[in-house]
Amino acid sequence: MKLQRKNRLRALSLGAVAVSGALALTACGSDDNGGGSGSSTASASSNASSIKCDDAKGQLLADGSSAQKNAIDAWVKNFSQACGVQINYKGSGSGAGVTAFTQGQVAFAGSDSALKPEEVTASKKVCSGGQGIDLPMVGGPIALGYNVPGVDNLVLDAPTIAKIFDSKITKWNDAAIKKLNPSATLPDLKIQAFHRSDESGTTDNFTKYLIAATPSNWKYSGGKAWQAKGGQSAPQSAGVAQQVKQTSGAIGYFELSYVSDGIKAVSIDTGASKPVAPSTESATADIAAAKVVGTGKDLALQLDYKTKAEGAYPMTLVTYEIVCDKGNKADTLPATKAFLNYIASEDGQKLLSTIDYAPVPDEIITKVRSTIEGLS
């Protein structure tokens, strides 16, 4: 099953390279063509003929969350085939995406963190008569991927995770890890903890979990930029995953779809009756309890990082598509609305669970669809 998923994602990635190489990238005057996506065939998970193109045409440039990159590639594959619109999503990270959006360089951005007040203020300069809003579109667990020879089923809890990433626990046979894994043969091997080098919403959500679940062991304020001392870094989710895969003793955090051959995922002891592994089902169980805390048309969510509910994975994230509620550019608005309408649709959301993402709960995605219709 894992091999099939890997082959599917590899195929999507190859399709992405093909389209991005074809783009002239006249949109916004950019000459950076990294990470576009598209394909001539529709995914079996979604019927391209059901996509409503409306007046969509031309090209769209977008940037942001690398956590949702595999989902965006799958969506773009279907949408481009149905509507002929080329979409170049660079996946440079949430921080880069928000910056590109507030500077008017992209039609929309992806971010694993909701806009901050100062970012909303900055967005008003490019959203004529409006502002940037958060539309929750992709859910999923933040997996702790590890590469420890001979250890197939690793369990960690919040205090231990915090100490590993704060360089307080440095060996895999540490007493705290042994206590959580009494039947495992843990090697006397140095822990190589990898974090994101770029500003990342995945980092923001990962550290929000640590702050909420074990505040006495994680004294940092959190945010998109990594703050703890020590460890090693790599850019974007794919970069961290690659380092974990090729480094014995490594551990790092990234979206579940980046867990592949050579990487195993940690199960978390939340205090429930048994440890919870990252999956679309366990993430959905946590996201279903999220509350909308955004105001007006903004649909920012508050997640429960301290959940002890049975089967609920606590280290989850929601990726938002960030777009102007009013004042979108006239030449890109039809394509932006058509694409967002598709990815928020039943077909678009259904595709997520086939590639290790979690669909947004019905009550929330219904509000997202209504908000997209009103974009201007």
Query: What is the rounded CA–CA span in Å between residue 118 and residue 372?
Result: 23
Residue 260, pLDDT score: 84
44 pLDDT band, cuts 50/70/90, is very low
Average pLDDT over residues 337-351: 97
Q: What is the pLDDT of residue 10?
A: 41
Provide the b/e sequence for 275-308 (b: ≥16 CB within 10 Å): bbbbbbebbbbbbbebeeebeebbbbbebbbebe
Name the phi and psi angles at 328, rounded to 5: -65, 150
Measured between alpha carbons, how far is 78 from 274 in angstroms, rounded to an integer?
A: 39
Scanning the chain, the segments in alpha helix (DSSP H) are 2-22, 69-83, 94-102, 117-123, 158-165, 175-180, 201-213, 236-246, 280-287, 333-344, 346-352, 362-373
Nearest to 58 by CA among 106, 22, 26, 16: 26
Which tens digit of pLDDT belongs to each residue from 227-244?
Answer: 999 999 999 999 999 999
- Spatial separation of the C-alpha atoms in residues 194 and 241, rounded to whole Å: 9
pLDDT surpassing 80 at residue 20? no
- Contact between 236 and 198 under an 8 Å Cβ cutoff? The reply is yes
Task: List all residues 6 or more positions away from 105 whose beta carbon is below 8 Å from its beta carbon.
Answer: 28, 30, 61, 63
- Check residue 298 and give its pLDDT: 97
> How many helices (H) and strands (E) in the chain?
12, 13
**Which distant-in-sequence residues (6+ apart) come within 8 Å of 246 by Cβ?**
262
Pair of tokens at residue 36: 């576009």
pLDDT category of residue 35 using cuts at 50, 70 and 90 = very low
Closest CA to 351 of 205, 139, 202: 139
Q: Which two tokens stand for residue 251?
A: 């551990």
Q: Tokens 């599917």 correspond to what residue?
A: 8
Distances (CA, A) of 34 to 17, 114, 343: 8, 24, 22
- What is the rounded average pLDDT for all residues in the chain? 88
Is the pLDDT assigned to residue 2 strictly greater than 50? no
DSSP-assigned letter for residue 50: G
Cβ atoms of 228 and 195 within 8 Å: the answer is yes
Kindly report, residue by residue over 177-223, the tens digit of the pLDDT.
999 999 999 999 999 999 999 999 999 999 999 999 999 999 999 99
Closest alpha carbon to 153 in 296, 311, 275: 275
Distance CA 110, CA 146 (A): 26
pLDDT at 36 over 90: no
| Reported pTM | 0.79
User: Taking residues 53-77, what's their average pLDDT?
Assistant: 94
Q: Helix or strand or coil: residue 248? A: coil
| Gap between the Cα atoms of 321 and 158, Å rounded | 29
Q: Which helix (H) or strand (E) holds 139?
A: strand 132-147
Nearest partner of 62 among 356, 353, 375, 319, judged by Cα: 319
Strand partners, 289: none
Q: 3-class SS at 303? A: coil
Using alpha carbons, select from 263, 262, 51 the residue that is nearest to residue 254: 263
**Above 80 in pLDDT, residue 42?**
no
* Rg of the chain on CA atoms, in Å: 20
